[in-house]
Amino acid sequence: MAFITVNSNESIESALRRFKRKVISEEIIKDLKKHSHFIPPGQKAKLKSANARKRNRRRFRQQRPASTSPRPANAPAR
């Protein structure tokens, strides 16, 4: 649960902004959406596998150096 204390000289808008940031950082909304309905074990395993593939694809894309040349390196120069 996210708690904040509102200072005496602080506006409601800034306190609300701090509260929203805290909720996002603690991932309260994300957790609430995750537990909002029952997911069967088989579907949960498929979802976990799909998320792992997505995470690995993103990781390998960042590790691989971007090729600046549009043609292969062993192609003859013109």
Query: Quick one: pLDDT at residue 76?
Result: 67
Q: Residue 36 falls within a domain, yes or no?
A: yes
Query: Quick one: pLDDT at residue 70?
Result: 60
Mean pLDDT by 10 residues, the chain (78 residues): 90 94 90 87 94 92 67 64
Instruction: Look up residue 12 and give its two tokens.
Output: 């409601």
Query: Quick one: pLDDT at residue 66?
Result: 60
Q: Residue 30 falls within a domain, yes or no?
A: yes
Q: Residue 17 falls within a domain, yes or no?
A: yes
Domain count, the chain: 1
Containing structural domain, residue 38: 12-59
Q: Residue 43 falls within a domain, yes or no?
A: yes
